[in-house]
Structure 1
């Protein structure tokens, strides 16, 4: 197994912000092409494109969603901020599995008492189950995990 005391980071895959920004540009182009002078259609296309562009920019500004070191974890907070969670603040690390549209989705959940931090596969660039396994091992090694309490 990997050294659980080593610093590790999980980030958004590089292709994802590019796809979001390309999608925003495509929406603007389609809005201009098919709006037929209708300001409502054009405004709606521009609004959706703006939302998609902001989402893509967030991935560029704060690509690291989760980081681990011997003292605890750092999670993305807000638009592009980060919050440090020492190991003693972590209450649970779980993976929630739910069927959606015929597929099973996994979400990593980090419960820090008053806050709950959720990460999907595209936030982490890895399987939430694999990340949870690494986090639990580091948490236990730190002496604050379920085995250390």
Structure 2
């Protein structure tokens, strides 16, 4: 996150996540090939899982900034590695959804833009979704 004194704030994926996903892809592929017997299903499944992890890690490298805010509006990720600009007039609601399952609580930042809903978790933002929601609301109030 950029310092509050700058005109725009950004939230991005923690730098360790893409590295961990890419290393995980190599480990899964290596283990799948190492323990492969005469059956070819195991290496194929390991290759598919490794490809999925590598694609996920590649997305984090190509589009690390998931959310940005400035006085004119919000920029969110869109598609695999694209971005979409939302003016403040398009943003209908900024909420944080909290869910508890099996004793663990997860928060999701929801940005409702009418025709689209944009969801961000803690690992998308490298910050607590409630803190980001407050920063977005403050930026929206300051833009009025």
User: In the alignment, what sits opposite 1:146?
Assistant: none
User: In the alignment, what sits opposite 1:119?
Assistant: 120
CA 1:9–1:54 in structure 2 vs 1: closer, same or farther (change >3 Å)? Answer: same
Provide the rounded CA distance (Å) in 1 between the counterparts of 2:72 and 2:95. Answer: 20
User: In the alignment, what sits opposite 1:29?
Assistant: 30
DSSP-derived class of the 1:38 partner: coil
- Residues 31-72 of structure 1 deviation map (CA, whole Å, 9 limit, x = unaligned): 011121321111001001100000000000000000011100
Aligned residues: 142
- Residues 85-134 of structure 1 deviation map (CA, whole Å, 9 limit, x = unaligned): 00000000000000123210000000000000000000001000000000
Provide the rounded CA distance (Å) in 2 between the counterparts of 1:113 and 1:124. Answer: 22
Runs of 4+ in 1 over 2 A off after TM superposition: 2-5
Stretch of structure 1 that moved more, 31-40 or 75-84: 31-40
Provide the rounded CA distance (Å) in 2 between the counterparts of 1:10 and 1:3. Answer: 12
User: In the alignment, what sits opposite 2:142?
Assistant: 141
Alignment of 1:6-45 (within 5 A): 6-45=7-46
DSSP-derived class of the 1:55 partner: helix
- Unaligned 5+ runs, structure 1: 144-149
DSSP-derived class of the 2:89 partner: helix
TM-score (norm 2): 0.95
Q: Tell me by how many angstroms 1:141 deviates.
A: 1.6
Provide the rounded CA distance (Å) in 2 between the counterparts of 1:50 and 1:100. Answer: 29
User: In the alignment, what sits opposite 1:65?
Assistant: 66
CA 1:92–1:20 in structure 2 vs 1: closer, same or farther (change >3 Å)? Answer: same
Provide the rounded CA distance (Å) in 1 between the counterparts of 2:133 and 2:5. Answer: 12
- Unaligned 5+ runs, structure 2: none
Provide the rounded CA distance (Å) in 2 between the counterparts of 1:49 and 1:40. Answer: 14
TM-score (norm 1): 0.92
Provide the rounded CA distance (Å) in 2 between the counterparts of 1:10 and 1:100. Answer: 26
